[in-house]
Structures are given as C-alpha cells and as structure tokens.
Amino acid sequence: MAELERAAARYRERDASAALTGFWSLRNPAVLHVAQERERVALQLLAAAGIELAALRVLDVGCGFGLEFTSLLRWGVRGQTLVGIDLMHERLRVARGHSPALLVQGSGTALPFPDACFDLVTQNVVFSSIVDPAARRASAAEMLRVLRPGGWLLWYDAFRTRARDPHFRAVPRSEVEALFPGVAWRWRRLTCDIGIAARLRRVPGALALLDASGLACTHLMGLGRRP
C-alpha cells in the first residue's frame, strides 16, 4: 500500500506541473521525434511476429490519460476490445473523454480481471515508476496471469537513465526477463536521451544519425510471447 500511495502522490505532483506537462507535449519537436520512432519500432515488431491486432483483446496497464489508445486504435485494435487500467481517477476521467476503451480504476499489482482473458498486454514507462521490487514482481505476475497462453506482451520502458529522481528507477533487460520467466522476447533499443535530443533537434539530420548509432538510447521495446 505504501508503494501505491507514493506512486499516486508522485503522479499528482507531475500532473500539476505545467513545466512537465508542457515539456512532454507532442508540440515539443524532441518528444515528437521520440514518439514517432517508438511507433515505427512497435509496428515493425508486431508485423514481424505476424500479429493481427483487430483479432485481439488488449489491456493497457497504467493507461493514464489514454494517450496510447490513439496509437493502438490506429494500428488496428478495435475499441470494443480495448481495456485500460490506471491508479489515478483524474487521469481516467480525462481518458474517458476521448476514448472508446473500457476504463477501470485499479492497481497493476492486483488486476481485477479473470485469468487468461487478454491476447495482448502492454505497458509504457510504468515499471520505471515502480521503485519497490515487490510491487514490480506483483505487477509482472498479474500481467502474466491475465494473459492467455500464447498471448503477447508489448513492453516499452527505460533500461538506463541519467536522472537522479528517487521516484524513477530504470529496468534493465535482465530484470524484465527475470520478471517474466518463460516469455520469449524480441528486443529493440531506441529513444535517444531526451535531454540530448532537445539540444540537437535544431541540427539537421543530427537526431537521425544519433538514433542510427544507438549510443544515446535509453529505452527498450520488447515484444514477448507467453508459452
């Protein structure tokens, strides 16, 4: 409970900060660049696996304001088969205003869904906001529990960081694979360090070259299949 209260307080603090919400807007060219790269990589992984999203029941864990719903729907997920869960009532209230998804308030450590009821479970920068190891293990176990055998996990999160925020802890690949035993993963490194991207965005071609080098990547995207 202490971890949930800490996370909720931190999310409220972040949501109240005009500086933070403004920076992470798609109006910021560096953030837009990162978002477009992430979408390309996700679609490449899904296509390589031959996944037909229109046929899948999808759960977005930690859906927040529902920003990922737009991408999922654009990729082919049907609104009536899309479910989002988030800890924060205010975030879900905003998400309800622009999404056809079924939205549920709750914690990833105790998902209120039956076993094996989803074909695809996604999480985007949720685990890096969970600093308690026990809560991470519980959330991963719940994601696996509600995923059907042969179903898919779509992961996006930081594997390293320069930040010294006590409310943020990167999740290296080795930890992800330990949290989801038996899952077979395909991994891609992506997302240039956002501070570097913000400084280089005015230099023509610089971000594309940095992406290609992989030297400043901070995040992992993984597509994993439950046996």
Mean pLDDT (whole number) for 93-108 = 94
Residue 207 pLDDT greater than 80, yes or no: no
Residue 210 pLDDT greater than 90, yes or no: no
Residues 224, 227: Cα–Cα separation, whole Å? 10
- Using one digit for the tens of pLDDT, what is the confidence trace for 111-169? 999 999 999 999 999 999 999 999 999 999 999 999 999 999 999 999 999 888 889 99
Percent of the chain with pLDDT over 90: 70
**CB-hemisphere CA count at 13 Å for 77?**
28
What DSSP line would sit under 91-124, residue for residue?
Answer: HHHHHHTT--SEEEE--TTS--S-TT-EEEEEEE
Task: Specify the range with the lowest mean pLDDT, choosing from 131-140, 178-187, 189-198.
Answer: 189-198
Token pair, residue 73, equals 């729907």
Give the helix/strand (H/E) hosting 170. Answer: none
- Predicted model pTM: 0.92
Residue 33 pLDDT greater than 90, yes or no: no
Query: What is the per-residue pLDDT for 215?
Result: 80
Task: Specify the range with the lowest mean pLDDT, choosing from 2-6, 98-102, 127-131.
Answer: 2-6
Helix (H/G/I), strand (E/B), else coil: 31? helix
Mean pLDDT (whole number) for 22-46 = 88
- Using one digit for the tens of pLDDT, what is the confidence trace for 167-180? 999 999 999 999 99
Query: What is the per-residue pLDDT for 172?
Result: 98
Query: What is the per-residue pLDDT for 99?
Result: 87
Query: What is the per-residue pLDDT for 19?
Result: 67
Q: Which CA distances in Å does 70 have to 48, 51, 95, 148, 163?
A: 22, 18, 11, 24, 29
pLDDT tier, 1 (very low <50, low <70, confident <90, very high otherwise): low
> Hey, which of 178-182, 197-201, 208-212 has the most confident mean pLDDT?
178-182
Residue 194 pLDDT greater than 90, yes or no: no
- Domains in the chain: ranges and CATH: 2-225 (3.40.50.150)
Query: What is the per-residue pLDDT for 206?
Result: 78
Closest CA to 125 of 81, 86, 182: 86
Residues 63, 84: Cα–Cα separation, whole Å? 5
On average, the pLDDT of the chain sits at 92
Closest CA to 172 of 209, 206, 212, 219: 219
Query: What is the per-residue pLDDT for 27?
Result: 84
Give the helix/strand (H/E) hosting 184. Answer: strand 184-192
